[in-house]
Amino acid sequence: MSYGYFYILLLISSVFTSTIIDSTPKDIIHIGFETPLSDEWKGRYDNFKDFYQIQTEENKPYLSARSENSDCFIVKRIEVDLAEYPYLNWSWRANTLPVNGDESQKAYCDVAASIAIVLNKSRILPKSIKYSWSTTLADSTLTKSPFAYWPARCDVIVKESGTERQGEWVTEKVNVFEDYKKLYKKKNAQSKHVYAIVIMTDSDSTNSLSEADYADIYFSKH
């Protein structure tokens, strides 16, 4: 699938509906899941809620994603200054990994679970950082999406790999601001705003099945 499609979505008015920003000082910015899935989330296809649904476990809501030969994703508008909230935190659970999934190869570019942070709103120079649970790429692998053609850019950082922790909730914490500064050689950056979060579980390239759950996504100061 074309990664630049994220930015087409971001520029349409339905994604950039008004969002009330709470000016009260806080330690976290929560990216919550409500039942049913909030209209602040948009999908690649009109029937995206067939692929992404809210479930509950121990009275806590989480996002359940299921892809059968699909490349659907969901996206939500955010506005966060990484200098103030550098850390992205989340929990996820990979239930079924796409067969031979490998985000560095077009023929196998599927992933059990991924969260991407959109760095700008440009249709000409779209840029993002994507964190993934890969079928085959080793933990801590850094690669680039083969669908992000120059001058577009999508850096992929593998956070989990394979089946060792399959079916278990795993908590992650990454410093997106530091990743941005390293990847873009901006060591002296004092501020960096991000504009959307994209969640994707897909399996179209491998013609297989991919299933994952997501919960407790938030930006934090520490």
Q: How confident is the model at residue 143 (pLDDT cuts 50, 70, 90)?
A: very high
- State what percent of residues in the chain have pLDDT above 70: 89
State the average pLDDT for the chain: 89
Position 6 scores a pLDDT of: 55
Pairing of strands 127-134, 153-161: parallel
Retrieve residue 36's tokens: 């049913």
pTM of the model: 0.90
Residue 73, pLDDT > 50, answer yes
Asked whether 153 and 39 are in contact (CB, 8 A), the reply is no
Asked whether 135 and 98 are in contact (CB, 8 A), the reply is yes
Contacts of 142 by beta carbon, 8 Å cutoff, 6+ apart: 155, 156, 157, 158
Q: How confident is the model at residue 19 (pLDDT cuts 50, 70, 90)?
A: very low
Q: What is the mean pLDDT of residues 145-164?
A: 91
Q: In what order do the strands lie in the sheet with 193-200?
A: 41-43, 73-81, 193-200, 113-118, 127-134, 153-161, 142-144
Q: Report the largest interatomic distance among the alpha carbons of the chain, rounded to a whole angstrom.
A: 47
pLDDT tens figures, 162-171: 999 999 999 9
Position 84 scores a pLDDT of: 97
Ranges 3-12, 161-170, 187-196: which has the least confidence? 3-12
Per-domain boundaries in the chain: 5-16+27-218
Q: What is the mean pLDDT of residues 180-191?
A: 96
Position 151 scores a pLDDT of: 79
Cα angle for residues 120, 124, 130 (degrees, 5° grid)? 45
Position 219 scores a pLDDT of: 98
pLDDT tens figures, 35-57: 788 889 999 988 898 999 999 99
Instruction: Kindly report each contact of residues 78-81 with a partner whose C-beta sits within 8 Å and lies 24 or more positions away, as own/partner.
Output: 78/29, 78/31, 78/194, 78/195, 78/196, 78/197, 79/19, 79/21, 79/193, 79/194, 79/195, 80/29, 80/193, 80/194, 80/219, 81/191, 81/192, 81/193
User: The domain 5-16+27-218 is classified under which CATH number: 2.60.120, 2.60.40, 3.30.60, 1.10.8?
Assistant: 2.60.120
One-letter amino acid at 159 equals K
